Amino acid sequence: MRLNGKIALITGGANGIGLATAERFAREGAKIILWDVSDKGIEVVERLGREGYEAIFKQVSVTDQGEVEQAVAEGREYFGRIDILINNAGITRDRTLLKMSKQEWDDVIGVNLTGVFNCTQAVAPVMKEQSYGRIVSASSNVAIRGNYGQTNYVATKSAIIGMTKVWAMELGRYGITANCIAPGFIHTAMTDAMPEEVRKQSIPHIPLGRWGFPEDIASGYLYLSSDEASFVSGICLTIDGGAAR
C-alpha cells in the first residue's frame, strides 16, 4: 500500500495510461479524483467503488482555467486535501510543419501545455498549505529525440520538461516534488489508431523489441508519487524500452 491514505488527482483518467494509473493507485491505497472530458469516467469510478475503492469523477476540460479551479476546490472539499497531481491529459493533432493549421497548433498547446499549467497552478497552493505534494506530468520521449509530423506535440512535451525543472526549484521549499515521465510507444487507443505500417516500423528502434503497456507508465507514476521518491525532484523519467536517442 505505497499510497495508503493519499489523495490523487489524475487528469485524462478515463482511458489508456490515465485509467491504468487510477486503477494502480487505488490498489496501492490512494483515494482517486478522476478528471476527463469524457463521461466514461463515471463508469470507471463506479467500477472502482464496486471493487471497494473510493473515487470521484468530474468532467473537466483542463484548458478552462475557471473550470479547473472549481474542480480543485470541489475535490479538496470532498477529501480534505490533495496529495498527488498526475498531469496525464493529452491529445495529438499530427501534421507536418508546412501543412499544420493554426487550429491544430492551438488545440495541442491548449490541452498538453496550458492544461498542465492550469492544473498545477490550481493544485500547488493546496499542496503548499499541506507542506506536502507530488506533481508528476506527462512528457514524451519525442521531447528528447523529436518526431516527424509532430511540431505541436513535441513542443508541448519539451516544455513539460522545462516547466518541471522550474517547479522543482520553486516548490521544493514547501515539501512538494515535481517530476515528469517520458513514455515511448505505448499501446493506447490513441497510438493504436496509427497506421499499422508505422507501428511495425517502430519496433526495430526499440531495444526491448516491443511497445509498452499503460501499466508500465502507471508504475513510473507510482514511484514518483510515492514516499520512495521523496528526494527525487526535477527529473524526467524515460520509459520507452530504450528507444530514446
Show which residues are catalytic: 153
CA dihedral 243, 169, 177, 156 (to 10 degrees): -40
Where would I find the beta strands (DSSP E) of 112-228? 133-138, 176-183
Please give the order of strands across the beta sheet that includes 176-183.
55-59, 31-36, 7-10, 84-87, 133-138, 176-183, 236-239
Q: How far is CA 208 from CA 77, 185, 212, 214, 230, in A?
A: 45, 12, 9, 16, 29
